[in-house]
């Protein structure tokens, strides 16, 4: 196993302000306002049956998944250039079998999913966001379209399984904000993220982890960090493949002058992209970890919007 290379502590991406308070465009345009304006089935948009799933046409609406609710078998159609935002409330909800069809070209700079669990345990599984977003409000400002954003007040646990996220102009999973407030955890398992900007999997709280998952950065889109761990940590990464093709940083630990710890176990990462330890952070390598990554699509992860919505994978 090669020694993990260290990169400079210099970070050229703006990081201040977005991990504190009710950010991410004021909790994705405010859950309270959304709840008053729409129903959990996407009012103000067109809903149509399509085999084993519903097609919801984007019209700038917000869909709220409530306490204890299971929201499943939906295809969100963004091909008309409009946006859809899905937010969660309460605890013990489930988002399952959801496909997003079409590149997000709305330019809203918001998040497609704003997630939080208020002390229980919730699940996101079998979701496709592989069509990505365009660059508007993207890399130059650090406020581009995000796939998943965790509300700082998230205090429970969220399992993310078999999620496919590609080509977003901001983070694929922006899960670090609860590190400053609610302290909730996120477990990313059997997921795939590719060619997103800022970072692919971004976590902060003790008990949060990435397992059995892959990150790929090649010449097909944005080139963000592979995994970015914020304070306080510790963040666990196990049985993952982080293939960066020499771009950005494979594992970045620490930000905004605060250090953290990462345990990297049985994981391969790109040696050229390397490991960056900021503000006294520590990345500890355990098990059979090395520098020969081969990104893979985890078994059961959907590769199209239709496949995800129907649950046929």
pLDDT for 46: 59
Which is more confidently placed, 207 or 108?
Answer: 207
Portion of the chain with pLDDT greater than 90, in percent: 77
Left (φ > 0), alpha (ψ -120 to 50) or beta: where does 21 sit? left
pLDDT for 240: 98
Which is more confidently placed, 126 or 36?
Answer: 126
Task: Give the count of domains, the chain.
Answer: 1
In this structure, is residue 5 part of a structural domain? Answer: no
d(CA 227, CA 137): 22
Does the predicted model carry a pTM greater than 0.75? yes
In this structure, is residue 6 part of a structural domain? Answer: no
User: Which of 131, 111, 104, 99 is CA-nearest to residue 302?
Assistant: 99
Q: Is the per-residue pLDDT at 146 higher than 80?
A: yes
CA distances from 124 to 9, 46, 95, 114, 280 (A): 34, 24, 5, 12, 33
Q: pLDDT tier at 45 (50, 70, 90 boundaries)? A: low
In this structure, is residue 11 part of a structural domain? Answer: no
In this structure, is residue 213 part of a structural domain? Answer: yes
Q: Is the per-residue pLDDT at 15 higher than 60?
A: no
Averaged pLDDT for residues 192-203: 97
Look up the domain containing 229 and give its range.
Answer: 24-310
In this structure, is residue 229 part of a structural domain? Answer: yes
Q: pLDDT tier at 1 (50, 70, 90 boundaries)? A: very low
In this structure, is residue 179 part of a structural domain? Answer: yes
In this structure, is residue 14 part of a structural domain? Answer: no
């Amino acid at each position: 196993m090669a020694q993990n290379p260290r990169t400079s502590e210099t970070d050229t991406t703006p990081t201040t302000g977005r991990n504190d308070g009710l950010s991410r465009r004021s909790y994705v345009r405010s859950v309270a306002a959304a709840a008053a304006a729409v129903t959990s089935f996407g009012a103000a948009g067109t809903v149509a049956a399509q085999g084993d799933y519903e097609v919801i046409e984007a019209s700038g609406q917000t869909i709220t998944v409530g306490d204890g609710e299971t929201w499943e078998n939906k295809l969100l159609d963004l091909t008309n250039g409009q946006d859809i935002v899905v937010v969660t409330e309460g605890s013990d909800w489930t988002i399952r079998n959801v496909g997003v069809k079409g590149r997000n070209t709305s330019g809203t700079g918001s998040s497609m999913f704003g997630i939080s669990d208020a002390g229980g345990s919730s699940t996101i599984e079998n979701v496709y966001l592989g069509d990505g977003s365009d660059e508007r409000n993207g890399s130059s400002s650090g406020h581009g379209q995000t796939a998943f954003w965790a509300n700082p007040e998230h205090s429970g646990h969220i399992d993310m399984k078999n999620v496919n996220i590609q080509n977003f102009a901001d983070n694929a999973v922006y899960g670090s904000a609860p590190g400053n407030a609610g302290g909730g955890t996120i477990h990313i398992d059997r997921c795939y993220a590719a060619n997103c900007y800022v970072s692919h999997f971004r976590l902060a709280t003790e008990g949060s982890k990435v397992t059995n998952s892959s990150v790929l950065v090649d010449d097909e889109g944005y080139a963000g960090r592979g995994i970015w761990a914020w304070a306080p940590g510790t963040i666990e990464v196990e049985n993952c493949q982080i293939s960066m093709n020499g771009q950005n940083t494979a594992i970045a630990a620490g930000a905004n002058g605060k250090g953290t710890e990462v345990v990297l176990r049985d994981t391969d990462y790109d040696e050229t992209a390397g490991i960056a330890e900021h503000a006294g952070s520590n990345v500890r390598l355990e098990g059979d970890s090395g520098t020969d990554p081969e990104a893979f699509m985890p078994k059961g992860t959907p590769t199209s919007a239709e496949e995800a919505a129907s649950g046929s994978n």
